[in-house]
Amino acid sequence: MAGEPVRRRRARRAGAPLALLLAPLLLSVSACGGDEGAASPGRTGADTAASQAAVVIAPQDGAREVATSGALKVTVRKGTLRSVKVTDAKGNAVDGKISGDGALWRPDSHLGSSTRYTVDAVAVDARGRQAAEHATFTTLVPKNTFIGQYSPENGQRVGVGMPVSIRFSRGITRPRAVEKAITVTARPAVPIAGHWFGNDRLDFRPRAYWAPGTKVTLRLDLDGVEGRPGVYGTQAKEVSFTIGRSQVSTVDARTKQMTVVRDGKTLRTVPITAGAPGTETYNGQMVISEKHPVTRMNGETVGYGGEYDIKDVPHAMRLSTSGTFIHGNYWSGRDAFGTRNASHGCVGLYDQRGGGDSGTPAAWFYRNSLIGDVVIVKNSHDRTIQPDNGFGDWNLSWEQWRAS
């Protein structure tokens, strides 16, 4: 019994090294087990290496006086573009497309002038790792500008012959860029095409007269468009107008009668006086572009010298830029209407001086006409009116119209 404590102490001393030897082994086993249950970058976790994709935004960050066309693009090397977002200072997005191979993004159209833009682009490399770039830039402030003066006016109700007509304050030498920035749409939809008259006027019309009730919308996105070298548009505007009932009036210079047809039915036949021999009225399709209860007509303004100067022509409606009107006439005598042509090229309807009698043919026609109504003249001993003289657009065939 006396030796028992000695054996136990020896046993404990003998066991101590075994425990010390087992401890590292247990720790090693525990560490291995933990490795199998956790993410490992080298085995099952995400790849944390940098993306090989290199995104390049042009123009560079902070650039100023940037051109509104051709300067903006986003490219990527060793990768594919995943998204490109371009917005102006108001948050309006710039539409654009990524190329089929994902290497290039360009905007669909020009940018606005004097505008700050923000670009955010994201690309991925072959292993799906993302790379992003951010930039801001400001477009140029134009020193020379142009605008387009349009007709008809927003909210106006017009006749079926009214084209959309835009006159530019500066001659346009880059018509395709300008035309691309203008859209004209109709509801219900019909094909619509533009036609240039010279370098400062662009009209739009369908193949045939508008259908009654059509709503037409004009969108001008000219801000930033370079219409000629160094001259930029400034407008971003949308206007709409509505087509009223159909009214087409046909003047026969031989019979000296005008037939007014509304929505396919004859409304009235009115005796007229057209241009006298030597000053005949143009033939062709014309459109009422202005209406004046009373106006002055002076021969000196249209190349007839002092042959006439009538200060109170009643119920006057313009048919051409060169001075053709359909108007009330009180000075030729009532018996002239329907019997002889006595005017200097206009179409005259019987009227009273001052236009105060609402029952005269001229007063009736004025009251029943809209800007945009069609007046056709036939059987006159003169040429057909030129299509750019007023709204003579309809004297061109659809093929001729689209060929401009």
Q: Mean pLDDT in the chain? A: 90
Catalytic residue among 110, 315, 344, 346: 346
Clarify whether residues 224 and 346 are in a common domain.
no
Q: In this predicted model, what pLDDT tens digit does every residue of 116-145 receive, in sequence order?
A: 999 999 999 999 999 999 999 999 999 999
Say if CB 376 and CB 281 are below 8 A apart: no
Task: Note if 134 is an active site residue.
Answer: no
**CB atoms < 10 A from the CB of 356, how many?**
10
Q: Are strands 148-151 and 236-243 parallel, antiparallel or unpaired?
A: unpaired
Q: What is the CATH number of the domain that holds 224?
A: 2.60.40.3710
Clarify whether residues 64 and 177 are in a common domain.
no
Q: What does the block give as tokens for 228?
A: 């000629």
Q: In this predicted model, what pLDDT tens digit does every residue of 240-254 receive, in sequence order?
A: 999 999 999 999 999
Number of domains in the chain: 3
Considering only CA atoms, which of 274, 249, 282 is closest in space to residue 368? Answer: 249
> Residue 212 is which amino acid?
P
Of 100, 121, 139, which residue is a domain's last? 139
198: containing domain = 144-244
Could you say which residues of the chain have pLDDT below 50?
A: 1-44
DSSP code, position 58: E
Clarify whether residues 60 and 182 are in a common domain.
no
* pLDDT recorded at residue 298: 80
**Dihedral (C-alpha) 147, 151, 155, 161: value to the nearest 10 degrees?**
-150
Q: Per the omega criterion (within 30 degrees of 0), is the bond before 188 cis?
A: yes
DSSP β-bridge partners for residue 21: none
Task: Note if 346 is an active site residue.
Answer: yes
Q: Are strands 247-252 and 374-378 parallel, antiparallel or unpaired?
A: parallel
* pTM score, whole prediction: 0.83
Cα separation of 389 and 158, whole Å? 19
* pLDDT recorded at residue 145: 98
Q: What is the CATH number of the domain that holds 322?
A: 2.40.440.10
Of 121, 139, 157, which residue is a domain's last? 139
Catalytic residue among 195, 315, 327, 344: 327
Tell me if 32 is assigned to some domain.
Answer: no
Of 214, 244, 274, which residue is a domain's last? 244
Q: What is the CATH number of the domain that holds 72?
A: 2.60.40.3780
DSSP code, position 261: E
